[in-house]
Amino acid sequence: MEKETKIRRVYFVERIGMAPGAAAAGLMLIVMMGIANGGVESGSDDPFALYVLGDSSVNCGDNNLFYPFLHHNLSLLPCNGSGSTLLPYFLAEKIGLPHILPFYSQNGSVEELLRGVNFGSAQATIINPNSPSDQSLNEQLRQVFETLQLLQLQLPENQASHFIQSSIFYLSFGKDDYIKFLLGNYNSLVHGREEFAGILVNQLVRVMRSLYDANVRKMVCVGIMPLGCTPRMVLDFSSGVSGNLVNGCVREVNEAVLEYNQLLGRHILGLNEELSNVQIVFCDIYQAIMEMVTNPSQYGFEDARNACCGIGLYGAMMGCLSTEMACDQASIHIWWDLYNPTEMVNSLLASSVWFGKPFSKICHPTNIQDIVS
């Protein structure tokens, strides 16, 4: 049995086709895992988990091999020091799932893999980044395949297949791609906007097809928030463009994001019609956050413009270097830092994508509660 397991592990590394450095990291993970005795105990007759891919909307910056070295050099903390304040963690709580560990924080046991994994990394992009420290969509997808194949090696075939089909794969990308695309390049709002949206959406569609081919049948894809309302975008664009603000937000930036969201929604609708036995939910959080920005007092907010944690005008001249810089009451702010919403916003969004309240119909063709049940 031990000999057979070693042969299967070697086959797995060869099958993945990783680069030498990545192969070493993958092999280390496999060696750490050892031989599992089966799945974790579950109170459900139909066990499943939540697997998360994304950017700073799903991770606070600790899911990186170079953390904390690069973390201390960043100009912001995308949340108040705890990933539990982000949307997918609120969602996992509503589903009744355990806390999801970041990919690089696991001990490598199959039991932890069966509890769900957060592959997301702050500043991750759909387009492959120039910096090796930023984990792109493709890098996270490779880690997903690595995890799925480990489950298939360690569990009986039928059990692994059913578990993967029952689990939910949550994707939240695009924000950091648009930040890099727009900053310092106002002309990009007019020239190349449609092409850029098409590139990003086509990459995400490719990933969803790849997940489907890997036996994934339940996916949640989250759109981009109204980026033109974030403190840094308002600071960078409003001063140089006369009459550019609408409801305190940069109109052209939000139009670019809307174009992306609408295109992504149409493609997901097409995938649901094309692929058999699949449930892909598109959650457009744009409209929900715009409602909070437009009518903040209705949702308990007092400040819809300034970041809770930041320095300078709108709290956007410099990002959040430490939680000690943060305001006393983050719950009355919509924005935590340069580009990220507060815990209260994420909590409202989680309730809305789960069962449609307080913001209805932001997920299509159904809400997340329906695909769980």
Q: Which domain holds residue 13?
A: 1-32
- pLDDT at residue 238, rounded to an integer: 73
Q: What's the domain count of the chain?
A: 2
Residue 264 resides in a domain: yes
The reported pTM is 0.84
Residue 178 resides in a domain: yes
Residue 39 resides in a domain: no
Residue 41 resides in a domain: no
Tens digit of pLDDT per residue, the chain (373 long)? 433 333 333 323 333 333 433 433 443 333 333 323 333 333 345 689 999 999 989 988 777 665 444 443 344 566 766 668 899 999 999 999 988 988 888 777 888 899 999 999 888 889 876 655 567 899 999 999 999 999 999 999 999 999 999 999 999 999 988 988 887 555 555 568 899 999 999 999 999 999 999 999 999 999 999 999 999 999 988 765 545 788 889 998 999 999 999 999 999 999 999 999 999 999 999 999 999 999 999 999 999 999 999 999 999 988 888 888 899 999 999 999 999 999 999 999 999 999 999 999 999 999 999 999 7
- 26 and 56 co-located in one domain: no
- 158 and 277 co-located in one domain: yes
Residue 37 resides in a domain: no
- 79 and 24 co-located in one domain: no
Q: Which is nearest to 276 in space by CA: 170, 112, 165, 152?
A: 165
- 19 and 123 co-located in one domain: no
Residue 367 has φ and ψ, to the nearest 5°, of -90, 170
- 127 and 18 co-located in one domain: no
- 129 and 25 co-located in one domain: no
Residue 228 resides in a domain: yes
- 258 and 364 co-located in one domain: yes
- 184 and 155 co-located in one domain: yes
- Contact assessment for residue 50 and residue 116, using Cβ atoms and an 8 Å cutoff: yes
- pLDDT at residue 71, rounded to an integer: 41
Instruction: For residues 145 and 209, give the distance between their C-alpha atoms in angstroms, rounded to a whole number.
Output: 13
Q: What is the 3-state secondary structure of the chain?
A: CHHHHHHHHHHHHHHHCCCHHHHHHHHHHHHHHCCCCCCCCCCCCCCCCEEEEECCCCCCCCCCCCCCCCHHHCCCCCCCCCHHHCHHHHHHHHHCCCCCEEHHHCCCCHHHHCCCEECCCCCCCCCCCCCCCCCCHHHHHHHHHHHHHHHHHHCCHHHHHHHHHHCEEEEECCHHHHHHHHCCCHHHHCCCHHHHHHHHHHHHHHHHHHHHHCCCCEEEEECCCCHHHCHHHHHHHHCCCCCCEECCEEHHHHHHHHHHHHHHHHHHHHHHHHCCCCEEEEECHHHHHHHHHHCHHHHCCCEEEEECCCECHHHCCECCCCHHHCCCCHHHEEECCCCCECHHHHHHHHHHHHHCCCCCCCEECCCHHHHHC
- 109 and 11 co-located in one domain: no
Q: What token pair was written down for 145?
A: 């395949």
Q: Which is nearest to 60 in space by CA: 74, 44, 42, 43?
A: 74
- 27 and 136 co-located in one domain: no
- 12 and 93 co-located in one domain: no
CATH number at residue 85: 3.40.50.1110
- pLDDT at residue 104, rounded to an integer: 83
Beta pairing, strands 168-172 & 50-54:
parallel
- Contact assessment for residue 341 and residue 354, using Cβ atoms and an 8 Å cutoff: no
Residue 275 resides in a domain: yes
Residue 15 resides in a domain: yes
Scanning the structure block, which residue is given the tokens 């069962």? 355
- pLDDT at residue 193, rounded to an integer: 87
- 142 and 290 co-located in one domain: yes
